[in-house]
Amino acid sequence: MTTKAERTTRYIIETVAPIFNKHGYVGTSMSDLTEATGLTKGALYGNFENKEALALSAFEYNSNRLLQAIEAKLSIDGSALDKVYSLTNFYRHYDEFTHDMGGCPVLNTGVDAEHNNKLLAAAARETVATIEGKIALVLEVGAKKNEIRLPVAPLQFAKQLFTMLQGAVAMATICRDRKYLLNTVAYLDVLIAREIKR
């Protein structure tokens, strides 16, 4: 059973996570956070050492939601190809998944924090590496089972695949046009079939 303090901490993180994700670390003021949570600055700092600790917890919350969703897509029954297509289909609807989060946490936090918060920037890079590693593992297992053929090392292919997906997310976000996402995923599905399908 959770304590009142644990419930309060969770409430704060869940409430402020989309705010930090939308406005960034610098762009999020303490008044934004107190207004959203209905708590005083003292109450917020009673649960978190400082704004940076709160921002990091908020990013980790969003990041974990994303990692769990990707893990679920890559863990479906079927071949490596089925799992990769499950991932690309997830990204076809990625904007819907991240809507309540305030957008893509990897893109938003990674770009925003690069020049103003080393801890957040490092956390975003770690999330990228984790996602790439999950994809690479599926590819490696698939290649060993002779389900797919890989023209390059699994991690290299995973990095390129994720770069194209994340680039599509960036363009769809910047241009406010989800066709960037849909068209890129459609192209990737063709590319995947051509490059790794046996």
State residue 198's pLDDT score: 79
State residue 66's pLDDT score: 98
Amino acid letter, residue 54: L
Task: Check if the beta carbon of residue 16 is closer than 8 Å to that of residue 101.
Answer: no
% of the chain surpassing 70 pLDDT: 100
In this predicted structure, the answer to whether residue 95 has a pLDDT above a threshold of 90 is yes
What CATH number has the domain bearing residue 180?
1.10.357.10
Domain that holds residue 90: 4-196
Contacts of 162 (CB under 8 A, 6+ apart): 128, 131, 132, 135
State residue 197's pLDDT score: 86
State residue 2's pLDDT score: 82
Task: Dig out the tokens for 141 from the structure.
Answer: 């297992």
pLDDT digits (tens, 9 = 90+) for 129-187: 999 999 999 999 999 999 999 999 999 999 999 999 999 999 999 999 999 999 999 99
In this predicted structure, the answer to whether residue 81 has a pLDDT above a threshold of 80 is yes
Task: Check if the beta carbon of residue 110 is closer than 8 Å to that of residue 24.
Answer: no
Stretch 99-128: mean pLDDT: 96
Contacts of 151 (CB under 8 A, 6+ apart): 157, 195, 196
How many domains would you assign to the chain? Answer: 1
pTM metric for this prediction: 0.95
pLDDT digits (tens, 9 = 90+) for 12-26: 999 999 999 999 999
Sign of CA dihedral 73, 75, 79, 84: positive
pLDDT digits (tens, 9 = 90+) for 27-51: 999 999 999 999 999 999 888 999 9
Contacts of 129 (CB under 8 A, 6+ apart): none
Q: What is the mean pLDDT of the chain?
A: 96
